[in-house]
Amino acid sequence: MPTREEITYFGAGPASLPTTVLQNASSAILNFQNTGLGLAEHSHRSALSNDILAATENSLRSLLSIPEDYAVLFMQGGGTTQFSAVAYNLLGYWVQTQLNKANGDIEVVREKLKKAKMDYVVTGGWSQKGSEEAKRLFGDGIVNVVTDSKKGFGEYCGIEEEKKWKRTAGEDNVFTYYCDNETVDGVEFPGFPKSLEGGVVAADMSSNILSRRVDVSKFHIIFAGAQKNIGTTGLTIVILKSAILQTQPTPATLRALYLPIPPIMMSYPILAKNNSLYNTLPIFDVWIAGEVMKELVAAGGLAKQEDVANRKAGKIYAAVARAPGIFKVVPLEGARSRMNICVRAQPAELEGVFLKGAEERGLLGLKGHRSVGGIRISNCMPCFTSLFSCILWLTWKPADNSITEAGVDKLVQYIDEFVQKNA
C-alpha cells in the first residue's frame, strides 16, 4: 500500500489538499480548539463559526486585494449553481438599473428587454454549459454567444481574436460571461479580455483562482468552486460588486416583466444580508479553505504563487514539446492553460500504456475528462511553506502541497523515459 508521500495526484478536482492542512484538519474534526466538539459539529450560528467566516474572508481579501465596495459570499452547489445564480442576479441588476433610468416605468423596461442580450464567450465545456443554462432559464432569444471556439477551430482548443467577437453594444448588453480557465479542455485566458473593459463582466475562475494575480475591480462577479485550488468539495466562493446587492427588482416587478424570480438560495442579496448563513453552511469546508489561504498569505501571496504555477507548467509543456512524434498539446499556443495541460498521444493506443506506467510510478489522476479523453495533467493546488521556514532558509520554497515541483520533476522524468522507449 503506497504512502501519501509516494503519490502525486494530478486530478483536476477534487484535487489533493496540502498535507499540513489535512494534518490540522484531522485534529479539528475530533476536538476543535479544545471545545470537546469537532468542527463539523459546531453550530454555523456560533461565534466560533462567525470567526472562521471572517478570518477566511480576510485572507481572501488580502490575497486578491479585493476592493472595499465588493462583497464575498460563501455558497454551496458548486460552479454549476452559479450558472443560474449569475444570470438571475445580473439580469435583476440590469432590470433595476433600467427602471431607475426610466423612473420606474415598467413598459419602457419591457420594451428594452426585447433587445437585451446576455453575452457568452464560449471557449470550452464549462462556458458552453453556462450559456445553455441561461437559455434554459430565459430563452434562446436573450442569449448571445459572442464566440464559439468549437465552431471556429473544430474543437475547444483556442480563443478567437477579440476583434471577431460579435458583442452586444451599449445598454442592450446585460452582462458578458466567460470561463477564465476551461478545466476539461485546457484553455486559459492569458489575461482579462481588453474588449470587455468597463462592462459588466462575470467570470468562472473555479480552476485557476489563487494561481495568479487578478484585478478584481474589472469584474462584477467572480466565482469559484473551492475543490480545485482552495479546499474541499462543497464550498463555492463568490466575489461581487456590492452595487449588485443594492440594485435588484422586487418579485412583483419581475412578475410584471414576465421574468422568473430567483430561488432564495440563488439570491445574492438574501445570502449577503445573512452573512452567507441563510441555511446551514458547511463551516468545516470554510475552515479548510481558510487554512489554505492563511498559508498562502504567510508564504508571500499570489505573486510567488503565480511564479511557481508558471514554472511547473513550463516544465511540463517543455517535456511534451521534446516529443512531438509521441505527444501533441491540444490547445493552441496563446491559449494553453497553466492549470490543465491537455495532450494526446500518437498513436492513441499509447495513452493507455502511458497512464498504466504513470500509475505504477505513483503518478495518478492523469486520464483526460470523460468527454474528451486523452491525457490531462492538472497543476491546480497551491504551493506554500511556512513563514518561519522562509525566514530560516532566507528564500521561499514551494513545499508540502499535492503537486510539488518534485512531483512535477518526477512526471517530467517519466515522460522523457516513455518517449525514449516508444520513439
Query: Please, where are the H alpha helices in 170-282?
Result: 242-246, 251-256, 268-273
Tell me how far apart the alpha carbons of residues 408 and 95 are, in angstroms, rounded to a whole number: 49
Q: What is the pLDDT of residue 403?
A: 77
Q: Is the pLDDT of residue 14 over 90?
A: no
| pLDDT > 70: percent of the chain | 95
Q: What is the pLDDT of residue 2?
A: 81
Instruction: Cis check for the bond before 347: say yes or no (omega within 30 of 0).
Output: yes
Q: What is the pLDDT of residue 18?
A: 81
Q: What is the pLDDT of residue 381?
A: 57
pLDDT tens string 100-156 = 999 999 999 999 999 999 999 999 999 999 999 999 999 999 999 999 999 999 999
> 60: alpha, beta or left, given left = phi > 0 and alpha = psi -120 to 50?
alpha
Query: Please, where are the H alpha helices in 139-205?
Result: 149-153
Judge if pTM exceeds 0.85. yes
pLDDT tens string 198-228 = 999 999 999 999 999 999 999 999 999 988 8
Helix (H) or strand (E) run with residue 329 in it: strand 327-329
Long-range contacts formed by 407-413: CB under 8 A, 24+ apart = 407/8, 407/363, 408/312, 408/315, 408/316, 408/379, 409/315, 410/8, 410/361, 410/362, 410/363, 411/8, 411/10, 411/316, 411/319, 411/358, 411/363, 411/377, 412/315, 412/316, 412/318, 412/319
- Provide the grid cell at 203: 467570470
How many other C-beta atoms are found inside a 10 Å radius of the C-beta of residue 210? 27
Tell me how far apart the alpha carbons of residues 345 and 46 are, in angstroms, rounded to a whole number: 53
- Provide the grid cell at 196: 470587455
Tell me how far apart the alpha carbons of residues 53 and 285 are, in angstroms, rounded to a whole number: 10
All domains of the chain, ordered by start, with CATH? Answer: 4-19+301-422 (3.90.1150.10), 27-292 (3.40.640.10)
Tell me how far apart the alpha carbons of residues 114 and 357 are, in angstroms, rounded to a whole number: 57
Tell me how far apart the alpha carbons of residues 139 and 7 are, in angstroms, rounded to a whole number: 47
Q: What is the mean pLDDT of residues 283-309?
A: 93
pLDDT tens string 46-103 = 999 999 999 999 999 999 999 999 999 999 999 999 999 999 999 999 999 999 999 9
Tell me how far apart the alpha carbons of residues 73 and 279 are, in angstroms, rounded to a whole number: 13
What's the burial of 1, exposed, middle or buried (CB within 10 Å: 0-12/13-18/19+)? exposed
Q: What is the pLDDT of residue 382?
A: 59
End-to-end Cα spacing for the chain: 32
| C-alpha separations of 194 from 148, 161, 210 in Å | 18, 11, 21
Tell me how far apart the alpha carbons of residues 253 and 255 are, in angstroms, rounded to a whole number: 5
